Structure 1
């Protein structure tokens, strides 16, 4: 089957029955997409079950924590998804920049576990994955494969992480603790930009029919769960802020390209609020902007190709940011000297400064792109820009240490902190940014041909079908169908 063969019923009854029996014995209950988009609708007994276990355990109750509404302690729900606002005293632009926090997701402290759940559960409920016999292969540059391993552990199936060897040490440390066998971590050559090498390894692994490739770049379940759950959560944050300022509009949504899934939230926000969608990539690998290529260190975005699940023709702006800027700001935001400078010299509140540790490398990139967008569009204090911090600085301590040794060999002091803030944040201008025309969007869309048609054997008709927005609107019809199939699956397991 191809990524376009989106099942609405059971494909293989034997696999389905095996999955029902497997999860029934383990007493696993699967949450629906609608429950994850509105966890307050969950039965109180489920919420109590979640509060009784750690968010870091491979426990099936943690499936019901795979959403944006976890509180800071990860032991309950918040009324509104966790977020903070960066104001003009920090950013230098009038528009408030709203950052929604991904580090509250369970097990991996990053929101990519949401996509991993969607990609595997839709295979389970349609009989396309047998957890007793198949292996789930998770190609990724880090967070998605960690999410996949976590979901695999909970469901009692074998999971294999395929990721570049140059990713952060924290990713590998986590994987070492979670995989059932060391061989289930497959390192491929390169770093963030080297997705082709991941695909090559997956092609090799797929020769074994028991290896099921769950490719986030081409699994439309990734797009759909972000459309419903991430889009809904971000819209909730905005409407909450709008209650405090009825003049506030949601001018733009900013997110790194990555797998293209998170950008699906932009489609939801555009449907609800007319929000512009800004896709972010590294200056060092400007695929969309300049048909460019290259190595970079903004882990989580900029993979030197156009994902199949990225709705390119709905993109309004493309912005590129420097990986050096992200690396240097990672040092500023996560060192005592950096905090001292921001609090004492820039007169920022300690509350604001402490929240900056919640920004991982891709989150920093998103904030810089949001500043660029605000400058380009000349946004006012009533024009909010919303973005996500997929993970936090805690995942990049090794990268911080590396940056300090390479860029600040004489030490990171107050002068270094001031120069970093002035150059890489306040100095952010509206360069390397494009308001896309129809011709621009077609050019970017066409780049995907070489990956998906020539290399991955997607039919030209299927590839072209995504150019029309009706394709994406039709996808949304799958959400209630899959929810009903999840409910029926749970009934069959007897675990409800």
Structure 2
């Protein structure tokens, strides 16, 4: 049996793909469309395009209604169509390179509410692992179809986006049947997820505002919906460069867990999972904002439906409207609404840059849009105008919670109930998370992992 491991880029190569061997990069770019299931596509995990330029848009101010620059980096062109594939690859490659998992023996479980599971299916199967994704039954049908197409098995659990405990329980049930063979790769606690966004996403954001000379070349705020809390890790890196940047966590009004110690069911698929995640450095969060799930869905339909686009093209450059329509899913629109709220709350001006993420695209939500049509009727121009005025122009600064010392401690303390009582973490490690040194140790593992990947590739003749 061939013992060679299937691995891909280092963290540094995901940040700067121009550092990949040109021959490998060329083949990877060719395979992106020719054969998207080829493992060589690991080398396409990056925020940059074939020209090594960062994929982003600065939203038209006629759409946002604020003076600040709202910059959106988008995950559309990653393998699988979402940046979550970077987190799944990083989590698994860290374990493969340290011989913690073996494709000839272990079964991998990826607990997810969507894009992480899609990424896990793609990455796990490309690395030749038996792969299972656990997903709530209420998620869009497109998610299930994509996971199956990548060769993974998928198990549906009761509930929707905010029913994460049910996913945990099913994962534990499968693991308990064969604990030696089964490995659970939990996005909410695996620090490979944190490290991908700290190093790759965070540094990409910094280079974007500096190299593209947007606004004042600084980052005033980062806004990110919290699903796994991987993406918000970019804030830890950004604060090391821009110490006055606001790191803002976003969640649904219908499930205000961090902000209100609350609960509930919502449909901003990909965020708001009814707990505070283990890898979220809440002591570094400056605020939590909440947005409405229905506004996020109706806003997405406005940006992507032909009628909505026709309305927007009356006052926004048509080319910009067409581009915007290809980069957003529900959580991306939620992030934009949160960014507008942040701009208004802090009274940011035309030189200030707020940066956020569009995780996936409308391709995953056609069934959700069809449900809106059945519920509210087809959108016409009058409805498009109403949605634009109420959803985008009508953003208020309610549901805004500042990260005071007391609030940060509350957010931190909420971890106890999920992670110590239910998931077996220690109180001692929970206490350590209050200290900056805990997170700095996690960040340092990036260089260690890169060295292990370089050494392995050299030994096996990859390089």
- The alignment's TM-score, normalised by the length of structure 2, stands at 0.96
Partner of residue 350, structure 1 = 318
Give runs of aligned pairs for residues 18-417 of structure 1, distance below 5 A: 21-23=2-4, 28-55=6-33, 57-70=36-49, 77-106=50-79, 108-179=80-151, 184-207=153-176, 208=178, 209-242=180-213, 245=215, 247-274=216-243, 275-344=245-314, 347-357=315-325, 358-406=327-375, 408-409=376-377, 411-417=378-384
Structure 1 residue 429 corresponds to structure 2 residue 396: yes
Distance apart, 1:352 and its partner CA: 2.1
- Measured in 2, the distance between the counterparts of 1:22 and 1:146 equals 26
Structure 2: runs of 5 or more not aligned: none
1:151 match: secondary structure: helix
Go from structure 1 to structure 2 and tell me whether the alpha carbon gap of 1:54 and 1:250 turns closer, same or farther (over 3 Å shift): closer
Query: Residue 438 of structure 2 aligns to a residue in which SS?
Result: helix
Please list the CA deviations of residues 256-279 of structure 1 after superposition, one character each: whole Å capped at 9, or x if unmatched. Answer: 111011111111111112221010
Distance in 1 between the 2:281 and 2:14 partners?
A: 23
Q: Give the secondary-structure state (helix, strand or coil) at the position aligned to 1:119.
A: helix
Deviation at 1:436, TM superposition (A): 1.2
Q: Which of 425, 432, 435 matches 1:458?
A: 425
Higher mean displacement: 277-286 or 38-47:
38-47
Q: In structure 2, which of residues 385, 409, 426 is the aligned counterpart of residue 418 of structure 1? A: 385
Matched-pair contact (CA < 8 Å) for 2:210–2:217: no
Contact 2:60/2:316 (<8 A) preserved: no
Distance in 2 (alpha carbons) for counterparts of 1:213 and 1:484: 25
1:407-460 CA deviation, whole Å, 9 max, x = no partner? x23x21111111111111110011101121000000011111000000001110
User: Is the CA contact 1:149–1:159 (under 8 Å) kept in the aligned structure 2?
Assistant: yes
- Deviations along 1:42-82, one digit per CA (max 9) or x if unpaired, are 11111121133134522121010111112xxxxxx234311
Give the corresponding residue for 1:5. Answer: none
Which stretches in structure 1 are left out of the alignment for 5+ residues? 1-17, 71-76
Residue-by-residue CA offset, 1:288-311 (whole Å, 9 max, x unaligned): 111111100000100000000001
Contact 1:139 1:202 in 2 (8 A): yes
Gap change, CA 1:340 and 1:52, over 3 Å in 2: closer
Shift of 1:349: 1.0
Q: Distance in 2 between matches of 1:281 and 1:159?
A: 29
Q: How many residues align?
A: 458
Residues 335-383 of structure 1 deviation map (CA, whole Å, 9 limit, x = unaligned):
1110111112xx1111221133211111000000000000000000011
SS of structure 1 residue aligned to 2:272? coil
Alignment check: 8 A CA contact 2:253 2:292 kept: yes
User: Residues of 2 paired with 1:228 and 1:436: CA distance?
Assistant: 24
TM-score (norm 1): 0.90
Write the distance in 2 (CA, Å) between the matches of 1:343 and 1:425: 15
Contact 1:109 1:391 in 2 (8 A): yes
SS, match of residue 236 in structure 2: helix
Does residue 469 in structure 1 map to residue 441 in structure 2? Answer: no
State the partner residue of 1:9.
none
Partners of 1:493 and 1:160 lie apart in 2 by 29
